Amino acid sequence: MAKADIGVYGLGTMGSALALNLADNGFQVAVTNRETDWIESFVAEAQDLQGNLVAKHDLQDFVDAIQTPRTILFMIPSGAPMDAMIETISPLLSEGDTIIDGGNADFNETIRRSKTFAGTGLHFVGMGVSGGEKGARFGPSMMVGGTDHSWSQLRPMAEAIAAKFEGNPCVAHLGPDGAGHFVKTVHNGIEYADMQMIAEIYGMLRDQGGQDAAAIGAVFGDWNTGPLQSYLIEASSAALHAIDEKTKQPVVDVILDKAGSKGTGRWTLIEALKLGQSASTIEAAMGARSWSSEKEMRSEAETLLAETTQAASVPSLSDLHDAMQAGRILGHAQGFRVLQAASDAFEWALDMSKIAEIWRAGCIIRSALLDELMDAFQNGLPHGHLILAPAMRETLAKTVPALRRVVAAAALSGQPMPALSAALVWYDTMALGRGTANMIQAQRDFFGHHGFARIDATGKHHGDWGEA
Ligand SMILES: NC(=O)C1=CN([C@@H]2O[C@H](COP(=O)(O)OP(=O)(O)OC[C@H]3O[C@@H](n4cnc5c(N)ncnc54)[C@H](OP(=O)(O)O)[C@@H]3O)[C@@H](O)[C@H]2O)C=CC1
Ligand SMILES: O=C(CO)[C@H](O)[C@H](O)COP(=O)(O)O
């Protein structure tokens, strides 16, 4: 019997969908799972794709079923499970074989893992996969980090199963070792910011505008036909229209207001800070999720903290729309700054235009904006900043006034808008030729003799602070 083109280990949400996608594209796929009971039911549910699946319960049999040099995709949790699987499977593999970690992994771990493969004859790929279950099944966006050898092995299959934008596959070899997982991590950071901004607008319409879920869902549905067209706006609209079977209420109204996270948002922030960046919209989104978990405290605080809000009119739908548009550009611009800083620090030579290109379809943050961003990168960015690209400057000029009105109304009415506020603060900071860091430097030199640069001379100077 012909050997399988690829092996997929881990038949959870993502692994099973990717295995079916590969099978659907005509590849023979060897599959296995830690919990072997699940394998048969997975194959049974595959129906007419069963002929392209080779189910194995034993790891050695699984490895033997794949043609050499082998390509084996792991879709399991990052961290200890991945390390344990590498240790278990490596002795069963042979020269030229490639192990792919397709989970959301910390890129530092991917670099560490890649180093352990050097000189072994085996190859390791860190591949970010985005698109959730549906994307994995019918076309995800994939961000690959690894050797050229692994990419040439993986490429035909990855390109076949990837989402297509105007016929072009949304997958690319972005760099060595941790590059793919880093780009996926920042993708998720941008995702956090975008989701938070949508939630903030939902909150304004619900709490200040008195609109119900279906009405807000209709607003988002309408926005999805214009410049805000995106998977996240579309998904938010659909989620707002969904009805809970048990209570017959909108599902969003029966969901507890506590949001979790699995790591990628936090990793984006940690790496941004290490690289001397501050992705404040992502930090605001991460912070909002963390604060949301303090549910009991918030319920108590609502009765204990003084009422300090002031009258403010509810922003118009047009202002909210434009605020979202400005916030989205600023959130993406921060994410791409982090990518550029990492590219410089790790000498990855990341192709920002390519990244925007492969995010145009398949992934969770796919949107009309990404098409514009791709063009902006191709035309070159003044000072390396997306917000200075002519098309972005033009849109920001039209939409930031609305963002300002929305954030002002939110501040007065006590409606929390951490991500949109952070976006505006960042815009204002970047738009100010002379800021206030001179005061910070004066303070540092005053108490710590740290020195400062002068506006009228080069070198390091100290202030004459007297005896104060
Ligand atoms: N869900 C999503 O939208 C996305 C998820 N990802 C990433 O994909 C990966 C898989 O996620 P997802 O499919 O959602 O997760 P699921 O929980 O649906 O599936 C997890 C899979 O990993 C296996 N597994 C768990 N622990 C171990 C272990 N210690 N050793 C071996 N196998 C193990 C499980 O096997 P068993 O059945 O035996 O428990 C199962 O096959 C994760 O890294 C996730 O971050 C990436 C993009 C999107
Ligand atoms: O990678 C993804 C989407 O791109 C996953 O859905 C991931 O789980 C999202 O992150 P979190 O669970 O922290 O919200």
For 243-254, the pLDDT digits (tens) are: 999 999 999 999
CB burial of residue 1 (10 Å; 0-12, 13-18, 19+) = exposed
**196-208: average pLDDT:** 98
Which one from 56, 184, 200, 372 is the annotated catalytic residue? 184
**Predicted confidence band at 282 (pLDDT cuts at 50, 70, 90)?**
very high
**132 annotated ligand-binding residue:** yes
* CATH code, 436-468: 1.20.5.320
Buried b (16+ CB within 10 A) or exposed e, 182-219: bbbbbbbbbbbbbbbbbbbbbbbbbebbebebeebbeb
pLDDT at 467: 73
Ligand 2 pocket list (CB less than 6 A):
104, 130, 132, 188, 191, 261-262, 264-265, 364
Going by alpha carbons, the residue nearest to atom 8 of ligand 2 is 262
**262 annotated ligand-binding residue:** yes
Which one from 191, 200, 271, 372 is the annotated catalytic residue? 191
Q: pTM to 2 decimals?
A: 0.97
Ligand 1 centre to CA of 74 (Å) is: 9
* Contact call for residues 324 and 332 (beta carbons, < 8 A): no
Could you read off the pLDDT of 221-263 as tens digits, one per residue? 999 999 999 999 999 999 999 999 999 999 999 999 999 999 9
pLDDT at 274: 98
200 vs 209: CA distance, rounded Å: 12
- From the CA of 187, give the closest atom in ligand 2: 4
| DSSP-derived secondary structure letter, 204 | I
Buried b (16+ CB within 10 A) or exposed e, 310-342: eebebbeeebbbbbbbbbbbbbbbbbbbbbbbb
Going by alpha carbons, the residue nearest to atom 9 of ligand 1 is 103
| pLDDT greater than 80 at residue 314 | yes
**191-211: average pLDDT:** 98
Token pair in block for residue 384: 């390396």
Residue to mutate (ligand 1; options 75, 83, 143, 187; most atoms within 8 A of CB): 75
Could you read off the pLDDT of 8-63 as tens digits, one per residue? 999 999 999 999 999 999 999 999 999 999 999 999 999 999 999 999 999 999 99
**Predicted confidence band at 468 (pLDDT cuts at 50, 70, 90)?**
low
Token pair in block for residue 52: 């392209």
Q: Does the domain formed by 185-430 have CATH 3.20.20.190?
A: no
pLDDT above 70 covers what percent of the chain?
100
**Predicted confidence band at 1 (pLDDT cuts at 50, 70, 90)?**
confident
* Contact call for residues 269 and 283 (beta carbons, < 8 A): yes
Could you read off the pLDDT of 89-112 as tens digits, one per residue? 999 999 999 999 999 999 999 999
368 C-beta neighbours (distance < 10 Å), count? 15
Ligand 1 centre to CA of 10 (Å) is: 6
| pLDDT greater than 90 at residue 116 | yes
The question of whether 258 is a catalytic residue gets the answer no
Helix (H) or strand (E) holding 130: strand 123-130
Handedness of CA 48, 53, 54, 59 (dihedral sign): negative
Which ligand is closest in space to the CA of residue 193?
Answer: 2
Please, where in the chain does CATH 3.40.50.720 lie? 6-177
463 vs 439: CA distance, rounded Å: 12
The question of whether 134 is a catalytic residue gets the answer no
62 vs 247: CA distance, rounded Å: 46
Kindly list the distances between the CA atom of residue 61 and the CA atoms of 36, 124, 209, 368, in Å, as whole numbers in the listed order.
Answer: 13, 21, 61, 46
Buried b (16+ CB within 10 A) or exposed e, 62-76: bbebbeebbbbbbbb
Mode of pairing for the β-strands spanning 29-32 and 6-9: parallel
Please, where in the chain does CATH 1.20.5.320 lie? 436-468
pLDDT at 390: 97
**292-299: average pLDDT:** 96
**130 annotated ligand-binding residue:** yes
- State the average pLDDT for the chain: 97
Going by alpha carbons, the residue nearest to atom 14 of ligand 1 is 13
Half-sphere exposure of 159 (CA within 13 A, CB side): 10
pLDDT at 232: 98
**Predicted confidence band at 330 (pLDDT cuts at 50, 70, 90)?**
very high
| pLDDT greater than 70 at residue 284 | yes
Ligand 2 centre to CA of 200 (Å) is: 19
**C-alpha of 427 from chain center:** 21
- Residues facing residue 4 across a β-bridge: 66
ipTM score assigned to the predicted complex:
0.98
* CATH code, 6-177: 3.40.50.720
The full length of the chain comes to 468
